[in-house]
Amino acid sequence: MKEMLSSSHTILVIDPDEKSYNTFQTVLGMQNRVLFVPNGKTAIDLPDSQNVDIIFVSHVLNGTDGIMLLESFKKRFPSIPIVLIAEQPKVDEVITAFRSGARELILKPLDEKELAEVTKKLFGFVSNKKPKRRRFFFIKKKSYSSTTTGRQENNAGHLRKIFRKIKKDRNHSRIEFDQLYRKESVPVGKNINNELIVNEDIALKQPRKKTRHFKRIKKPNAHIQAYFLGPFRILVNDQPIESWPSKKGRSILAYILLNHKKKIPKDILMDVFWRDYTPDSARNNLNVAICGLRKALKGVQKNFNHILLEDDYYLLNPMLKLWIDFEEFIEHHEAGQSFERKGNLIDAIKEYEAGESLYHSDFLEEDLYEDWPIIQRESLKDSYFAILDRLSRYYFKEKRYVTCIHLCQKILAKDNCREDSHRLLMRCFTRQCQRNLALRQFDLCAQDLKQELDVAPMKETVALYHKIRNEEAV
């Protein structure tokens, strides 16, 4: 077992069965990279982008024929060995699988020892596949005369035995391989320097190997724009996702985007969204939600896997380019604070205004009764209040009272008990010679405090009220 895992390989497993995932992780997951995908449609491009060495395909997949998927993989990636995972397969299905390109077959329930032996054999094939495969099949395609055709067909089993024998004995040289297969001697000798040489005439008769050129297909990276401040919206390459398979799927994508800088364990998602369910039920619901989510994303951009599963962790495809509104909001707020500490108030105000323009509403306002967005929502709301407060005081000082009033009203629309904003509004109205509006603002302040907190206005607010009423400067 240790010998098999001496070098790391990338193994793609396409199987919706959770037990299979656990077996693969136990046998191969320690020193190899196991990509476990429950749906074959989402894995069709992974061998190209993830440098996959071996593919395991389940016979039965959700919505996909495993053998057809195997055939599709073989056509697109002919050099990658593919293993069929089957449970009580029919004889004709097994035959079809091998004709479609399957290299091995393993049965469910998976046996760890059998999986280790099959994979070890394939690891040897992967590391030696170019010289051995091309040489063997090139010779096998050699033309024979009509008198030897029947003999060639009858020797099919014999050739298979020879091939297996050579695979087991790695010490055979190329010359010994030719001798075993062709049943003819190859003239060899040594020169005066005691170096081994092969007859030049035979070397010249060997036909040249044709060089195959594969055209690399450049796949565009997906660009996701995510809007959290207000109604949750997603644009993939500037195309909006109009319909979601389920509210849970939408919420899971929001959760993954919120935590996109780290991998998310599957158990965490199960606990967040299906806390009161049994583990099996939660796991099944998660698989269904992820499947629908991938389908929704692929409906906008095909041939790209947006969400990956690696070692029981979900993560966004590293090739994704992300723009998230609340992250840019935070960047503007922090940049404004930095400019203000340096005494650069003009640039600070520009950053604050840019951040304020992004805050259309609270973080994921449609999920007010969910627990997981609360911390982020309150943190962003505090930053928003800080920006509005700083901008309102700046514009009051600049005597731009209309703008100041607009900003104060935004604050009070979210928290009507902020007396500092009530007082600033009273001052703005007074300086615009609208004492009646200023006095009315005090009444609204007192009313809101009574209803919400059952308290009276602060002494500072009451003192300002008396000054305005007595027509004193404020």
Domain boundary pick from 132, 149, 171: 132
Q: What is the CATH number of the domain that holds 72?
A: 3.40.50.2300
Q: Sign of dihedral through CA atoms 419, 423, 424, 429?
A: positive
Digit-coded pLDDT (tens) for 241-268: 988 888 899 999 999 999 999 999 999 9
391-410 mean pLDDT:
96
Residue 1 lies in a domain: no
Q: Which of 324, 357, 376 is the last residue of a domain?
A: 324
**Domain with 172 in it:** 157-210
| Residue 329: inside a domain | no
Q: How many structural domains does the chain have?
A: 4
* DSSP result, 29-94: TTTSEEEEES-GGGGTTHHHHHT-SEEEEESEETTEEHHHHHHHHHHH-TTS-EEEEESS--HHHH
What pLDDT does residue 155 have?
42
Cα–chain center distance at 179:
51
> Alpha-carbon distance 112 to 329, whole Å?
51
Say whether both 179 and 83 belong to one domain.
no
Residue 359 forms part of a structural domain: yes
Token digits of residue 332: 């503007």
Residue 457 belongs to some domain of the structure: yes
Residue-wise pLDDT tens digits, 273-314: 999 999 999 999 999 999 999 989 988 888 888 999 998 899
d(CA 314, CA 161): 44
pLDDT of residue 325: 96
Domain boundary among 290, 324, 358: 324
Average pLDDT rounded to a whole number, residues 121-127:
69
Q: What is the mean pLDDT of residues 35-51?
A: 75
Q: Across the chain, which distance is largest between two alpha carbons, in Å? A: 123
Judge whether 229 and 358 are in contact, CB under 8 Å.
yes
Q: Are residues 345 and 443 in the same domain?
A: yes
> What are the tens digits of pLDDT across the range 414-428?
999 999 999 999 999
Kindly report the CATH number assigned to the domain that includes residue 269.
1.10.10.10
The residue type found at 409 is Q
- Same domain flag for 51 and 23: yes
149: in domain: no
- Whether 70 is covered by a domain: the verdict is yes
200 — pLDDT class (breaks 50, 70, 90): very low
Q: Examine the domain organization and report whether 465 and 420 are in the same domain.
A: yes
**Within this chain, do residues 17 and 54 fall inside the same structural domain, yes or no?**
yes
Residue 330 domain flag: no
Residues 364 and 445 in one domain: yes
Pick the more confident residue, 428 or 184: 428
Taking phi first (over 0 means left), then psi (-120 to 50 degrees means alpha), and beta for anything else, what does residue 101 get? left
User: Domain for residue 38, yes or no?
Assistant: yes
pLDDT at 201: 44
CATH code at position 465: 1.25.40.10
Convert the pLDDT of each residue in 1-11 to its tens digit.
Answer: 444 444 578 88
The span from the CA of 276 to the CA of 105, in Å, is 39
Within a 10 A sphere around the Cβ of 355, how many other Cβ atoms? 23
Q: Are residues 202 and 265 in the same domain?
A: no
